[in-house]
Chain A
Amino acid sequence: MSPSTAFRFAVNVTPKDGILDPQGRAVEGSLPHLGVTGVSDIRVGRRIELTVAAPTEVDAWTTVERLAGELLSNPLIEAYAIESLGAVSATTSDDDVAGVPA
C-alpha cells in the first residue's frame, strides 16, 4: 500500500441534556460508597476513535461529521463532539487487527 495522508479523530458521544441517563445515575449512586461528596450531573457516553485516509484534514473531517451524525450517534437522544488527534501514517489496513469473523 502506497503511503498517503490520513488523520485520526475521536468522536465523543454523550446523552443530550435532559435525556434520562440511567447509567450516569447508577454511577452517581455509587459515590457515597466511596465517601465522595459534591459530585453531580454524571453523564455516561462513549468515545469512538478512527483513522480517515483523505487528502486534507478538512476532507477527512467531512467524513467523520457524516459518520458521527448518521451512525455513531442518534441525534434524537445524543450529542457528539469531534476531536482531531492529528495526522498519522496511513498504511492502515485491517491486517494488524485480530481476525474478526465476518
Chain B
Amino acid sequence: MVRIGVVVFPGSNRDIDAVNALRVAGAEPVVLWHESADLGGVDGIVLPGGFAFGDYLRAGVIARFSPVMRSVAGYAAEGGLVLGICNGFQVLTEAGLLPGALLRNRSLRFVSRQVAIAPQRLDSPFTRALESRRPLRMPVAHGEGCYFAEPAALDDLEAGGGVLFRYVRSDGSTAGEDDRANPNGSLRAIAGVTNAAGNVAGLMPHPETAVEAILGSEDGLGIIRSLVDSAAERAAAGRRSAVGSAR
C-alpha cells in the first residue's frame, strides 16, 4: 500500500483530517513529527492545515526552519510529491518551494465556509483523478489566504501552467478579486498553485475535509486520490529503477 507522510507541527490541527482522507483514498498515512528529519521512506507528503507555531511572525515561517522541512525540501528537489493544504500551503511558499505569498484576507476577517474551486488543468499529479474541470465544493478556514505575487510573476505562473485551482462563482465562471466567491481576495482568484517541476502543490481550501458525504461534500477526494495514485506510480517506477542501482 502506498505510504503518504502527514507532517505534524505544534499547532497543526487538520492533520487527523488529512490522515482520514488518505485512508479514504486507499493510502497508508504515516505521521511525521516536525523535529525529526527522517521521512520514513514515504511515497508522498502532505503538509496539513492548522496554525503551525501559532502563526507567529508570519504564517508558516517558523515551521519552514524545522528539521522536517529541510528533508521535505530535499525530497521535493528529487521530484517527490508534496501537497500543502492551507497552513501547509503557507509553509511551502515561505520555504520557497512554491511561488508567491499568502497575505491577510482582504476582508481582514477569518473566513470559514464552503467555496467552489475549479481545477485549471487535469494533467497534474494532484488533479489527474478528476474527471472534468467542473467546480469542486469544499471549505476554507483561514485568515491569511490572499494569494499574491508580482504581476510579472503571475503572468509567468499562468504561462507555465502553475495555476492549479481558481475560485469560481456558482455558474463556474472565475471569481473577481472583490467577489464573495473569492473568500480572501486572491489575485486572479488563485486558490492553488504548483511549482515549475509540477511535483509540489498547495491550495488554501480543504479537500481533506470534503472526502465523504457525511462531511457535506466528497469533491475533495479526487485531489487526495490524485496524490495517492501519483505517489503509487512514482513508488513503482522507483522500485523498477532501483534494480541494479547503487542508490
Residues of B within 8 Å of A, CB-based: how many? 18
Q: Cβ of B23 < 8 Å from any Cβ of A? A: no
For A74, list chain B residues within 8 Å (CB).
58, 61, 94, 101
Instruction: Report Cα–Cα, A77/B65, bound state, in Å.
Output: 19
Instruction: Report Cα–Cα, A74/B47, bound state, in Å.
Output: 20
Instruction: Report Cα–Cα, A29/B60, bound state, in Å.
Output: 29
Interface of B is mostly: loop
Using an 8 Å CB-CB cutoff, how does the interface string of B97-110 with A read, 1 for contact, 0 for none? 00011011111100
Q: Cβ of B163 < 8 Å from any Cβ of A? A: no
Q: Cβ of A23 < 8 Å from any Cβ of B? A: yes
Given contacts A72-B57, A74-B94, A77-B103, contact A19 B148 (CB under 8 A): yes
- CB atoms of B105 and A22 under 8 A apart: yes
Cβ-closest chain A residue relative to B148 = A77
For A26, list chain B residues within 8 Å (CB).
108
Q: Cβ of B115 < 8 Å from any Cβ of A? A: no
Given contacts A20-B106, A71-B65, contact A76 B146 (CB under 8 A): no
- CB atoms of B106 and A76 under 8 A apart: no
Cβ-closest chain A residue relative to B146 = A20
Q: Which of A38-87 contact B (CB under 8 A)?
A: 71-72, 74, 76-77
- CB atoms of A76 and B104 under 8 A apart: no
Known: A19-B103, A20-B106, A20-B185. 8 other contacts (CB 8 A): A23-B108, A71-B61, A74-B58, A74-B94, A76-B101, A76-B148, A76-B150, A77-B103
List 7 A-B pairs, minimum CB-CB distance, nearest first: A77-B101, A22-B108, A76-B101, A22-B104, A26-B108, A22-B106, A74-B101
